[in-house]
Amino acid sequence: MDETKVYVGYFELGDEARAVINKVLDAGRISEGKFTQEFEKSFAKYCNTKYSIATSSGTAALQAGLIALKYHSSYKNLTGKKIITSPLTYIATANAVHFSGYEPAFVDIDPVRFSILPEKVEELLSKSKNPAEEYKAILPVHLMGYPCDMDALKSIADKYGLVLLEDSAQAHGSSYKGRRTGSMGLFSAFSFYIAHNIQAGEMGAVTSNDEELIKLVRQIKANGRVCDCPVCTRPQGKCPHLPKDNKNDDDFDPRFTHSILGLNFKTMEFQAALGLSQLKLADKIFKARQDNVKYFNEHLKKYDEILQLPEFDRDVSYLAYPIVLKKDASVNRKHLRLGLEKNGVETRPLFGSIPTQQPAYSHMKDQYEGKLPNADYIGKRGFYIGCHQYLTEAHLEKVIKVFEKVLK
Ligand SMILES: Cc1ncc(COP(=O)(O)O)c(C=O)c1O
C-alpha cells in the first residue's frame, strides 16, 4: 500500500488470495458451490450460530431475511408494516426495509456508541394505539462495530410482541456480554464489502439459529425456488421435494418450481473463497484494528476539547475510526476533512441521519424534523478514517502529523 495514502478501506491481493482464486478456477465452477458451502459453515461457526447463508451483498442479506418474515409460520401473522431502526446508518438498512415492503421508523441514537436507544424505542411503542398492528420488528445496527444493547431491546420486543433482528454489516467479531454480534436476533445480516473487517469485494450473509427462517432465505435468494437443501441431493436421487408417491418423476424439477416470491441474491465462488481466506485471519484483523484505534486515541487525545474520539472497548471489532467534532470546536467538518484529504488521509462522513439529511428520504423529513437530535448532530459533524489492518507504522504516524498540521 502506498505509504503516502491512508485509505479508509484497502484490500491487498496477497499470495493466499491469489491461490484461492486459482483454486476456484481449477475447480471449474464459479457459481455457488463447495466454497460457498464451506464459507457458510465456517461463518456460522465464527458467529456462534447454527446457520449462515451467503448472499450477493449485505443489502441482499437484509432483504432476504425481511422477506422471509412474510412466509415464516411464526411471524407471517404479525401484520405490522413498520420496522424500527437507526437513522444513523449506511442507507442500505432503510432501503432494504423499504424494498421488502415495510416502512422504516426511526428513533434517536446514543451519541457515543451510535446505537439506537432502548428508551426511545419504548417511547415510540408506548405512544402507539396498537403497537402490534403498527410495528413488526426492531432492527438495531451495530454501527462501527459497537454492539447495541440487545438485552434491553429484546425485552422491549418481547413486551410488544415484535421480532428482534440485527444489522451486523459493520460488526464481524464484536461481542455483547459474551455473545457474538449476529447471534442474538432472529436473523442478522452481514456485509463483506471491501472496506469491512472481513472482505470479499461484494458479498453478504444471513446468520440465524432458526431453521425455518434459513430454509426460507435459501429459497428467497434463488427466486423463491422450492429447493431449500444446503447441498443438492438430486444427483443421488434423494431430493426431498420429489412427490412421495412418484420418486422417479424426472419431469418435476425443484430448481425451476417456485413456491414463494424471491429474487436473485446468490453469490459467486470467488467471493466465498476470498471470504474463507479472510475468516482464517479474523483474530489478527480484529487485533490490528483495535491496536490502531488505541494508537490514534493515544496520539489524538490532546484534541479532546474539540474532537470526540471513539470509546475503546475490547469487545468491539472496529470498522473504522469515527470522530465527531464537539460543539465548541473552532474548526468545522468541511475544513478538517478537506485538510485531511489534501494531505492523503481519506475520510467519509458518518452517513447522515436518513430521514432528515438524506435526499432519498425527504418525504419523511417533516415527520422527523427536530426529533433525532443526536443523529442529526453526528450526521453533520461526524466522519471516519481508516483503522484497517493494512496500515503500517508509517501510515499511523502520518495520520497524526496530518491532524497536527490541519489543527495547528
Ligand atoms: C450498516 C450496514 N448495513 C447494510 C449494508 C449493506 O451492505 P452491502 O454494501 O454489502 O450491500 C452496509 C454496507 O456497508 C452497512 O454498513
CB 3 within 8 A of CB 394: yes
In a domain, 9, yes or no: no
CATH number for the domain including 305?
A: 3.90.1150.10
Report, as an integer, the average pLDDT of 350-376.
98
Signed CA dihedral, 44, 49, 50, 53: sign only: negative
* Alpha carbon 265 to chain centroid, angstroms: 16
No. of helices (H) and no. of strands (E), the chain: 15, 14
Q: Do residues 105 and 229 both lie within one domain?
A: yes
Query: How many domains in the chain?
Result: 2
Which of 279, 307, 338 is where one domain is finished? 279
Burial of 358 per CB tally in 10 Å (0-12, 13-18, 19+): middle
Do residues 274 and 328 share a domain? no
Distance 201 CA to ligand 1 centre (A): 12
Do residues 187 and 212 make contact, with C-beta atoms less than 8 angstroms apart? no
Q: Are residues 155 and 134 in the same domain?
A: yes
**Same domain membership, residue 287 and residue 270:** no
- Positive or negative, the Cα torsion across 127, 132, 133, 136? positive
pLDDT classification of 111: cutoffs 50, 70, 90: very high
* Domain span including residue 122: 15-279
pLDDT band for position 364 (50/70/90)? Answer: very high
Which of 55, 56, 59 is the pocket-test mutation for ligand 1 (most atoms within 8 Å of CB)? 59
168 Cβ inside 6 Å of ligand 1: no
Question: 245 pLDDT band (50/70/90 cuts)?
Answer: low
| DSSP category for residue 80 | -
Residue 6 confidence (pLDDT): 97
pLDDT per position as a tens digit, 55-92: 999 999 999 999 999 999 999 999 999 999 999 999 99
Going by pLDDT thresholds of 50, 70 and 90, the confidence category of residue 17 is confident
Is 2 domain-assigned?
Answer: no
**Is 390 a member of any domain?**
yes
Atom number of ligand 1 nearest to Cα 62: 4
**226 and 99, same domain (yes or no):** yes
Q: DSSP letter at 179? A: E
Cβ(92) – ligand 1 distance below 6 Å:
yes
Question: Is 252 found in the same domain as 293?
Answer: no
- For the chain, what is the mean pLDDT? 95
User: For residues 177 and 340, what is the distance between their CA atoms, to the nearest angstrom?
Assistant: 36
Task: Mark 376-386 as b/e (b = at least 16 C-beta within 10 Å).
Answer: bbbbbbbbbbb
> Does residue 246 have a pLDDT over 80?
no
> Is 220 found in the same domain as 73?
yes
**What proportion of the chain, given as a percentage, has pLDDT over 90?**
90
What mean pLDDT is predicted for residues 348-356? 97
pLDDT of residue 247: 59
Q: Is the CB of 191 under 6 A from ligand 1?
A: yes
pLDDT score of 217 more than 80: yes
**Tens-place pLDDT, residues 1-15:** 788 999 999 988 888
In this structure, the chain runs to a length of 408
